[in-house]
């Protein structure tokens, strides 16, 4: 976390993580709330399955990318990689998102001049990395329809495993090295809902050895790119070796970014912020003595700040070709929806 006294939120998060991914028991109170929440989520999925709640189905295939747990697991690099892979195979992909943490309402189209506070940090990063159409709306059906009208013939729904109202052809679950933790529903565990009877069509894992039919994903750091300035410049990570660097991460699992920088041979001063943190110049006041390296998700929110020695470190998801081939085949041959 940023230097200074830990906030109450940080202390609470640390306590929950110790229960979710460590050996600490959740306790009676969290377990009772978890049982109630899990029952409600099971009822919700059953209501969609038997038709009490209506699932909206489109005339183009929808691929849902998400994770079962609270927080990030590497969805955004995967979405970016899928857009590129499907485009190479002749598809015209579009991406829809609710734009978590944005200040705006209604349908928003993402473009190169968009502000992360208006469209959300992850949708902006996806568009800047791919150039693909990205529509943001709390009503994901409206966003999906807008993308179809714009000419997209396959849609990628970012972070939508639990959004059952939108019909889908395929589901892709992402897991990092932490897996499902204690496999309990929040707040006793990290799961967003009890594991459904029908699991995802593909499970993509990174940071650990794949098992069974798991699809391995490798996240690779690219050369750092300077933020701001009149002319873009890049520098290999090895160019930052030999002196400390400030590493900034406002993502679901900051330790993953810090570890990757250390694996690249850098001496890292860690600055972990809450996921989707809205950065200001004040956040970097104590970081003027060394270069600042940050994730792409954070960089899109810092483009207009006064940071003379700040650098984005892009992350690329590397996927096996047989997985992309299987995904392409399923999209062309599958029916237009699967049961919730």
Domain ranges of the chain: 62-91+153-217+319-333, 223-313
The whole-number pLDDT of residue 1 equals 47
Q: For the residues 273-290, what does the mean pLDDT come to? A: 91
pLDDT tens-digit map of 152-169: 999 999 988 889 999 999
Average pLDDT, the chain: 90
* pLDDT tens for each residue of 200-259: 999 999 989 999 999 999 999 999 999 976 556 899 999 999 999 999 999 888 888 999
pLDDT at position 262: 95
Rg (the chain; Cα; Å) = 20
- pLDDT confidence of residue 340: 64
- Output the CA–CA distances (angstroms, integers) from residue 65 to 118, 181, 204, in the order listed: 22, 20, 10
As given in the structure block, the two tokens for residue 28 are 């009676």
pLDDT category at 311 given cuts 50, 70, 90 is very high
What's the pLDDT score for residue 9?
A: 65
Distance CA 231, CA 111 (A): 20
């Amino acid at each position: 976390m940023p230097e200074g006294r830990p906030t109450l939120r940080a202390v609470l998060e640390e306590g929950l993580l110790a229960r979710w991914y460590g050996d600490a028991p959740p306790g009676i109170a969290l377990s009772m709330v978890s049982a109630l929440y899990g029952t409600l989520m099971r009822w919700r999925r059953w209501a969609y399955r038997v038709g009490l709640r209506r699932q909206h189905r489109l005339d183009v295939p929808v691929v849902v990318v998400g994770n079962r747990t609270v927080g990030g697991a590497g969805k955004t690099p995967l979405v970016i990689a899928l857009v590129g892979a499907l485009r190479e195979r002749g598809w015209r992909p579009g991406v829809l998102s609710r734009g978590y943490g944005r200040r705006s309402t209604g349908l928003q189209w993402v473009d190169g001049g968009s502000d992360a506070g208006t469209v959300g940090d992850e949708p902006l990063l996806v568009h800047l990395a791919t150039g693909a159409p990205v529509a943001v709306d709390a009503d994901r059906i409206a966003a999906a329809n807008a993308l179809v009208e714009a000419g997209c013939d396959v849609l990628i729904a970012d972070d939508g495993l639990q959004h059952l109202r939108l019909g889908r052809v395929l589901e892709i679950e992402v897991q990092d090295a932490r897996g499902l933790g204690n496999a309990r529903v929040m707040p006793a565990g990290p799961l967003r809902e009890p594991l459904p009877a029908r699991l995802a069509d593909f499970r993509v894992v990174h940071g650990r050895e794949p098992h069974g039919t798991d699809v391995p994903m490798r996240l690779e750091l690219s050369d750092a790119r300077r933020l701001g300035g009149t002319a873009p410049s890049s520098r290999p990570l090895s160019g930052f070796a030999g002196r400390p660097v400030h590493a900034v991460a406002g993502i679901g699992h900051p330790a993953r970014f810090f570890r990757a920088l250390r694996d690249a041979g850098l001496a890292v001063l860690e600055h972990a912020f809450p996921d989707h943190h809205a950065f200001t110049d004040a956040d970097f006041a104590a970081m003027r003595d060394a270069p600042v390296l940050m994730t792409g998700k954070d960089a899109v929110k810092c483009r207009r700040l006064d940071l003379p020695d700040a650098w984005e470190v892009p992350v690329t998801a590397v996927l096996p070709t047989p997985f992309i081939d299987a995904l392409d085949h399923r999209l062309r041959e599958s029916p237009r929806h699967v049961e919730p």
